[in-house]
Amino acid sequence: MKLKLNIQDMTEGFFENTRLIGMVAPVKDYQLVWQLNKRLRLDFRSNHELEIQLKKKQRQYFFGIYEYQEPGNALQHFLYNNQFDGEYLLPEFKHLDFLWLQKGDTVSEEKMTDLMNSVRSVPGVQLVMELSQEKIKNKGHLIF
């Protein structure tokens, strides 16, 4: 008997109750994370176990992920690098440098607006926008 992994169900489960922000910030990931942690009182940490590897054109590409768990609730934050060595985690969003996924708990419109406005004030950040799930063609690339 052969079992087949249903990627569609896995993707839907992973993205249930998530919000995603795209950011243009032409700075190094560690610089952005330092600024976000300092200014927004967060505690993003690099998580090498979550790093995403894609193989394209016989080459390996590594996309780092930073993680932050909100104290006192189930909301987790994941900050993805969208670029590595000329390749993109989400090629449909080549103009974005970073992706910020919020997962595990409901994020209200008010909280989302406040977060995006706060991120806009961070040095190096040029653009902040919410990405609707319908526009993401390569959702599977974000699953760790």
Containing domain of residue 26, as a range?
15-142
Of 33 and 52, the one with more pLDDT? 33
Domain assignment of residue 32, yes or no: yes
Residue with tokens 């653009």: 127
Looking at the structure of the chain, the number of domains it has is: 1
Q: Tell me, yes or no, whether 82 lies in a domain.
A: yes
pLDDT band at 12 (very low <50, low <70, confident <90, very high): low
* pTM score: 0.87
The stretch 105-132 carries a mean pLDDT of: 95
CA dihedral 138, 25, 14, 66 (to 10 degrees): 130
Segment 74-89, tens digit of pLDDT: 999 999 999 998 899 9
CATH number where 130 lies: 3.30.310
Q: Which residues pair with 129 in a beta bridge?
A: 22
